[in-house]
Structure 1
Amino acid sequence: MMESPWDIDRELGLHYYLTESPGTGGVLRDLPDDFEVQEIADHTYSDGPYLICSLNRRNWDQHRAIKAIASGLGISHQRIGFAGTKDKRAVTTQFISIYKIKAEEIARLSIPDITLTALGTSQHPIKLGDLQGNSFAIRIRKISDSSLLTSLESFQKSIKEGIPNYVGYQRFGVSRPVTHLIGFEILKGNYQEAVRVMIGKPGSQMEDHEQEGRACYLETEDAARCLHLLPPRLSLERSVLHHLVRYPGDYLGAILQLPRTLRSMYVSAVQSWIFNTTLSMRIRDGHSLFEPEVGDYLIWPDGRTDKITPATIHAAKVQLKRGTCALALVLPGGSYISDAGPDDRNIHTVLEEKGISSQMFEKVSSVLDTKFAGSFRPMLMKTDLTYEIIDGDLLVRFSLPPGQYATTILRELMKADPMDMV
């Protein structure tokens, strides 16, 4: 176990590396083609109002790509469903559903670096979570020490056994990690402050116009003035400001102008931050990620969970050794969290320090029209990783189940500056 030296890691709860080998260093996404993601899903087709399509995009933010497709078809973006959010600076292939659109209309659509292919129709839309996983092919360039590539077999073994299942940088942002900060303010009902963070908080890599526009809002909160300063590509922030120009002071209404999936992402980022933080606390306190203790939770492939008691600890060890279940942590929500185990107590400590209660999750569920009941997430992530060396670069391939992050694997491998991994 090694402590991360990066401030951004500590800010996002990613305090540790499990492996102790030196990182390869290097840079991700030197070109968008260096990061390929293919969604794994098994859709069935039948007569229905939803057109299922394969969406391939290069260097497109997903929310902006969805809005561009909706605009090209002359429909609301809310008629487009998808199973998961993919990276921007990458080449990604995923499935989407579009309500009451015909294949001929898709064929006429022309958007640079976006290819949309109609596959069939369905009675049901694609919803968040409707996938089996994602496969990755990622090229790491500018390796800091090529001699480290000879130790990759040891890393393969470590990844197969498991590393901390941290929620990755994409959930929060790296150059501008604000998603969870916005979520904290929404949970507390501080909608004005949530908008202030969303629009005004600066990032480490901003163009002049973006920097000027965000600084303007942070200083003045003058929506009309700042709207003219923010560049057009910041369409989501601009939609919030447009609403405030029309309805001054209606900060909740401004937040509700954002896509429903994005609104829910702010609150789920809070849950993710709490998970990362409490997972790091478990590592800090010397509790194993591989061996169960009384008070721990087990999660099964069907989502069922059990709390380990003195009477079940032996059976838990047997089941974990067989790989039929996994150790898990709570992602807190509206449901009650007990304090029977050390992880539960750590979660309570974090919630108290942040001034968050389960009632806040219940209230925001009705406000955002998305349920935040809480759930469980495995402590470990595992995969079979293959690699090859091409002209001094490292090409790695692996697959992950839904909700797990490729950058978490790569962070453990590279141990590089997080700014080189976005």
Structure 2
Amino acid sequence: MADAEPMLVPAPGGEKRACPASEDEVDHSTKRPRVQKDEKNGGGHSHKPAQDEAEEPEGEETEPLEEEDGEGAGLGSGEAFAEMMKHGLTELDVGILKFVSEHKGFSGILKERYSDFVVHEVNKEGKTVRLDDLSVPEEAEVADDTKEKRTLVHKAVKTLYPGLETKTEEREGKKFIVAYHAAGPKALAAPRKHSWPKSRGAFCHFVLYKENKDTMEAINVLSKFLRMRPNVFSYMGTKDKRAITVQEIAVLKAILQDNWNEVIDLILKPRPGAEKGYLVKCREEWAQSQDPEAALKKLPVKRCVEGQLLRGLSMYGKKNIITAFAMIPRNNRLMYIHSYQSFMWNTMVSRRIEAFGLKAVEGDLVLRGGTAFVLSAAEAETHSIQDVVMPLPGFDVIYPTHHVGKGYGEMLSADNLDIDNMRHRVRDYSLAGAYRRILIKPSDVSWEVINYDDPRISLVHTDVEKLEDQPPPVFNKEGKYRALRMEFSLPPSTYATMAIREVLKMDTSIKNQTQLNTTWLN
């Protein structure tokens, strides 16, 4: 997946504010649709079910690593990978059960290549965010500066950034002050705190382009090289990679139940499925020894979820598990919370569609100025299904008054949770709740069928390819493979995969898609 999304980093010393709103070579003899989508997250309003995809905190490395021969639990083999994905989640497992359209549908493969899934954010002015400029500020020539002025610049850099060394260089007859990484102990010295000019605003706003990485993995890489905490970055949603995890819902339940030993076990214990070889070894070590330092030594990179948790356990011990768990970046920890809420929302929406279909009914909820209200029988006649919202469970929401709404309490009780007590002694793990519309109508919809011959080529001209002046892909109208390329815009908290699911009328989970892809390749 190639993404371009706006990012915000609070300026040093600036006021902390909420993020502004914007919300391989194969020979196939059979033609099969390949679904290619260019999604833009932005405004728009549907006959697309806005059911949640399971949000997946990953346990993958934040740096590229060469996998040893025989490692990776068969990741290099399509058949072995498909075999492992038998342990993955299906749509049924996360509560996605119903379709709202009546057409027959067809078979297609999603995300055969990561470049098949291109996401561009839409800013609050309605402009699609793209990476279209890699230029750096022009270097300031210092030829006309006096030696005294140049000395002041050298001293200022040395004071503010002990890890840098400067010198004046002459290039093409012009003089420049150039900064280099210092050698020796100074190279690791942190820059001294300094104030950020108020004229620059409270945020540094930039566009992040990433390929085959989820958002938090990319943020971890940036935080490492910028020497900043991951939680200083603000972004709209999490753009996924082709992820494989099955533990997040169980982890959240254990958190809410205050069963912290279970939380640790669920994250670190061996699990079925496809993982990097070093993660498999790390989990095996933990299962055998329960020694965080020994398990940590099995990880060549420590900035994954498992590595951060093991570091916390090494530092604070098993008697301070909550503190150790907090070593995991906040956004990763909150993914566990959101996954459970999404699971419940999916399940309740599926029940709501099954019980009442695609019309507003008495007891449904609608929003008026951000506040939820229960519809009377008369009011339901004046509203459509596109007005109806369902709550994510929490202490700050109300629930539908019909029998489907009562199912929230029943589901929570089955997990030993109390619908009337969704607060946690750790504020981050309290569930406030929110409302989401059942159906959202995408805007700016367009589509085309493409025939092509080479399964290795990208079917979308990406921002980076444009910057590199690479020509757009050329397609053979008589090509032996066929793809459906769709483009549309969505508001926040909706999911493109659910729109594709309505077109295909099939399970879009990675488990099913992997099996389908492997069968096709064979």
Shift in alpha-carbon separation, 1:52–1:22, aligned structure 2, 3 A: same
The Cα of 1:368 is off from its aligned counterpart by 4.3
State the SS of the aligned residue for 1:24.
coil
Q: Which amino acid in 1 is paired with 2:432?
A: A
Q: Is 1:418 aligned to residue 485 of structure 2?
A: no
Partner of residue 417, structure 2: 356
**2: distance between equivalents of 1:388 and 1:16?**
26
State the SS of the aligned residue for 1:81.
coil
Q: Is 1:217 aligned to residue 283 of structure 2?
A: no
Counterpart selection for 1:305 from 365, 372, 376:
372
Shift in alpha-carbon separation, 1:7–1:232, aligned structure 2, 3 A: closer
Q: Which amino acid in 2 is paired with 1:269?
A: S
Shift in alpha-carbon separation, 1:417–1:305, aligned structure 2, 3 A: closer
The Cα of 1:203 is off from its aligned counterpart by 4.3
State the SS of the aligned residue for 2:383.
helix
Shift in alpha-carbon separation, 1:344–1:73, aligned structure 2, 3 A: same
**2: distance between equivalents of 1:257 and 1:217?**
18
Q: Which amino acid in 2 is paired with 1:306?
A: F
The Cα of 1:62 is off from its aligned counterpart by 1.4
Partner of residue 27, structure 1: 109
Partner of residue 242, structure 1: 311
The Cα of 1:349 is off from its aligned counterpart by 1.1
Larger Rg, first or second structure (1 or 2): 2
Q: What do you get for the CA RMSD once the two structures are aligned?
A: 2.8
C-alpha contact (below 8 Å) 2:344/2:392 kept by paired residues: yes
The 5 Å alignment of 1:1-400 reads: 8-42=90-124, 47-88=200-241, 175-200=244-269, 202-218=271-287, 220-230=289-299, 232=301, 235-249=304-318, 250-284=320-354, 286-288=355-357, 290-300=358-368, 302-309=369-376, 313-320=377-384, 326-335=387-396, 337=398, 340-358=401-419, 360-363=421-424, 366-369=425-428, 372-384=431-443, 385-391=445-451, 392-400=482-490
State the SS of the aligned residue for 1:411.
helix
Shift in alpha-carbon separation, 1:416–1:359, aligned structure 2, 3 A: closer
Shift in alpha-carbon separation, 1:238–1:299, aligned structure 2, 3 A: same
RCO higher in structure (CA 8 A, sep ≥6) = 2
The Cα of 1:40 is off from its aligned counterpart by 1.0
**2: distance between equivalents of 1:376 and 1:83?**
17
Q: Which amino acid in 1 is paired with 2:339?
A: A
C-alpha contact (below 8 Å) 1:196/1:217 kept by paired residues: no
The Cα of 1:315 is off from its aligned counterpart by 3.2
Q: Which amino acid in 1 is paired with 2:208?
A: L
Shift in alpha-carbon separation, 1:55–1:349, aligned structure 2, 3 A: same
The Cα of 1:314 is off from its aligned counterpart by 2.7
C-alpha contact (below 8 Å) 1:178/1:197 kept by paired residues: yes
Q: Which amino acid in 2 is paired with 1:317?
A: E
**2: distance between equivalents of 1:87 and 1:7?**
15
Q: Which amino acid in 2 is paired with 1:9?
A: E
Identity %: 24
Shift in alpha-carbon separation, 1:389–1:336, aligned structure 2, 3 A: closer
Shift in alpha-carbon separation, 1:213–1:25, aligned structure 2, 3 A: farther
C-alpha contact (below 8 Å) 2:390/2:438 kept by paired residues: yes
The Cα of 1:72 is off from its aligned counterpart by 1.8
State the SS of the aligned residue for 2:112.
coil
The Cα of 1:353 is off from its aligned counterpart by 1.0
- Kindly provide the CA deviation profile for residues 313-353 of structure 1, in whole angstroms up to 9, marking residues without a partner as x: 333322328xxx61111211123655732122111111111
- Kindly provide the CA deviation profile for residues 264-305 of structure 1, in whole angstroms up to 9, marking residues without a partner as x: 221122111111111122234x312x21222111135x4232
Shift in alpha-carbon separation, 1:23–1:375, aligned structure 2, 3 A: same
**1: distance between equivalents of 2:383 and 2:102?**
28
Shift in alpha-carbon separation, 1:338–1:15, aligned structure 2, 3 A: closer
Partner of residue 27, structure 2: none
Partner of residue 407, structure 1: 497
* Unaligned residue ranges in structure 1 (runs of 5+): 1-5, 90-172
The Cα of 1:10 is off from its aligned counterpart by 1.9
The Cα of 1:15 is off from its aligned counterpart by 2.0
C-alpha contact (below 8 Å) 1:297/1:307 kept by paired residues: yes
The Cα of 1:253 is off from its aligned counterpart by 1.4
* Farther off after superposition, 65-74 or 333-342: 333-342
* Unaligned residue ranges in structure 2 (runs of 5+): 1-87, 127-197, 452-481, 515-522
**2: distance between equivalents of 1:221 and 1:405?**
39
The Cα of 1:367 is off from its aligned counterpart by 0.8
- Kindly provide the CA deviation profile for residues 13-66 of structure 1, in whole angstroms up to 9, marking residues without a partner as x: 112233354443232222222110001113799741311111111122211211
Q: Which amino acid in 2 is paired with 1:305?
A: A
Q: Which amino acid in 2 is paired with 1:266?
A: Y
Shift in alpha-carbon separation, 1:339–1:59, aligned structure 2, 3 A: closer
C-alpha contact (below 8 Å) 2:90/2:507 kept by paired residues: no
**2: distance between equivalents of 1:303 and 1:368?**
23
C-alpha contact (below 8 Å) 1:213/1:229 kept by paired residues: yes
C-alpha contact (below 8 Å) 1:198/1:237 kept by paired residues: yes
State the SS of the aligned residue for 1:51.
strand
- Kindly provide the CA deviation profile for residues 210-237 of structure 1, in whole angstroms up to 9, marking residues without a partner as x: 2332344345533223222345276221
TM superposition score normalised by structure 2: 0.56
State the SS of the aligned residue for 1:361.
coil
